[in-house]
Amino acid sequence: MNVPLYEKIWMWAAGGIIAAFIAIVLVTGVGGALQPPSHVETIDPTQVFKDPRFAHPAVTVDANGATVVAFGMMYGFTPAEIRVPAGKRVTFRMTSTDVTHGFLIVGTNANTMLVPGYVSQFTTVFQRPGEYLIVCNEYCGLGHHLMSAKLIVEEAKP
Ligand SMILES: [Cu+2]
């Protein structure tokens, strides 16, 4: 069969693009699945109460913003009421003592999973003062629907 040269070039080019796509899918899919995508900080889930990072779950406010140390367990969050300043950077550091929980602050873009064995961390800014509902959005057991907490965003003091 006599295939014209241009036809051959385009067949090889199309084949090469397909091979490149498959390679990209394999490299990112397999490589990315080997570890969590960000902030790999581990913790022994059975020792959360004794671990110095989580022994005193609380909100620490300083000039730059606030740091929230909290954990989720069946079926609640500790602390159950979190007070942070409006318009400042708030860093959440959280984990779970038992199973995987969710941490969603309704009406904001704050949403993470609390996976036992790992410390979840993210930073956000709450612009609007007010009261926000925090819910667990990963089914974690019979009391899942009872698992909630409160975020109070306070007007920043001048
Ligand atoms: Cu839960």
Instruction: Provide the residue count of the chain.
Output: 158
Using the predicted structure, report yes or no on whether residue 66 has a pLDDT greater than 70.
yes
Ligand 1 center–CA 37 separation, angstroms: 22
If you average pLDDT over residues 126-152, what whole number do you get? 95
Provide the number of structural domains found in the chain: 2
pLDDT reading at 111 higher than 60:
yes
Strands 148-154 and 81-85: parallel
By residue range, what is the domain housing residue 72? 45-154
pLDDT band at 33 (very low <50, low <70, confident <90, very high): low
CA of 104 relative to ligand 1 center, distance in Å: 11
- Check residues 68 and 63 and name the one with the higher pLDDT: 68
Whether residues 113 and 68 share a domain: the answer is yes
* Predicted TM-score (pTM) above 0.85: no
For residue 156, the CA-to-ligand 1 centroid distance in Å is 31
What pLDDT score does 28 carry? 84
End-to-end Cα spacing for the chain: 83
Q: Give residue 29's pLDDT.
A: 81
CATH number at residue 87: 2.60.40.420
With tokens 């241009």, the residue in question is 6
Does residue 57 sit in the same domain as residue 84? yes
Average pLDDT taken over every residue of the chain: 91
For residues 30 and 98, membership in a common domain is answered with no
What is the predicted pLDDT for the residue at 156? 72
Same domain, 30 and 51: no
Query: What gap in Å lies between CA 145 and CA 91, rounded to an integer?
Result: 26
**Each residue of 77-111: b (16+ CB within 10 Å) or e?**
bbbeebebbeebebbbbbbbbbbbbbbbbeebebe
Residues with CB under 5 A from ligand 1 (ion): 101, 136, 140, 147
Do residues 118 and 36 make contact, with C-beta atoms less than 8 angstroms apart?
A: yes
